[in-house]
Amino acid sequence: MAAQIIRHLDLNDLAKRAAYRLVDRLVECQANGRVANLCITGGRTTQALFTELSKAMAASPIDRARLEIWWGDERFVPTTHPDRLAAMTLATLARRFPIDPAHTHPMPGSEGQLDSASAAEAYARELGDTKFDICILGIGPAGQTASLYPNQPTPRGQKVIAVRDAPDPPSERITLTPTALSNSAQVWFLATGHEKAQWVRAALDGDRTLPAARIAGREATLWLIDRAAAAEMPYFDCSL
């Protein structure tokens, strides 16, 4: 199934429109008493989304008791560390839409008895057979998605892996694999800025060295990008 590309003016426009799109989708997922499973990751664009999402959720009929939040990746640092993605995201959402910690699934921190590989195995067990309704992913400045980097080998058959040599600090991380991320009804890629344009074009052209090119939703794959990130996409004149 071909990816759907939705262009926006800039980061603010994308964050606001994507937030309301996500709220509508979550409400739809919760229809008939269902639990909605949302997988999220960090990054500048996704954090902007979560700021707008907290506002949109506060005025929405979303049932917070039927919303489960999972993480696609995490920095392997202590749970109290300010760089933890989970801490940043939950703090942003809680400003207007407090979420019961019992319905969140942060990845283990480095202060426990587990090393990063064992922590990845523990998260894989917690994840079990969960299928995400929506997975929110970004594209990093090095072409990474979650904590999966270009040309990085991914072991077959694993849902969660440890990364010990990430190019960006901190170098040790935990991340879901393309297999686990693709176990989503819908995958949404968010990308803004000129520095992302080459990666957006390469991923959509099917460059398999990029993790984003190997991840797709079971039902739909959306690329929500701003004009700068779309700079290297083909131009279509739709006027009649």
In this structure, what CATH number is given to the domain that contains residue 119? 3.40.50.1360
Instruction: Evaluate if residue 125 carries a pLDDT over 70.
Output: yes
**160-163, strands of its sheet edge to edge:** 73-75, 173-176, 160-163
In a domain, 239, yes or no: no
How many domains does the chain divide into? 1
In a domain, 107, yes or no: yes
In a domain, 234, yes or no: no
In a domain, 238, yes or no: no
Q: What is the mean pLDDT of residues 115-136?
A: 97
In a domain, 99, yes or no: yes
151-184 confidence digits (pLDDT tens) = 988 888 899 999 999 998 999 999 999 999 999 9
In a domain, 54, yes or no: yes
Q: What is the mean pLDDT of residues 63-71?
A: 96
Identify each DSSP E strand in 52-203 by its residue range. 67-71, 73-75, 104-105, 132-138, 160-163, 173-176, 184-191
Place of tokens 């926006």: 8
Domain that residue 134 falls in = 4-223
Report the pLDDT value the prediction gives residue 236, as an integer from 0 to 100. 54
Instruction: Evaluate if residue 147 carries a pLDDT over 70.
Output: yes
In a domain, 109, yes or no: yes
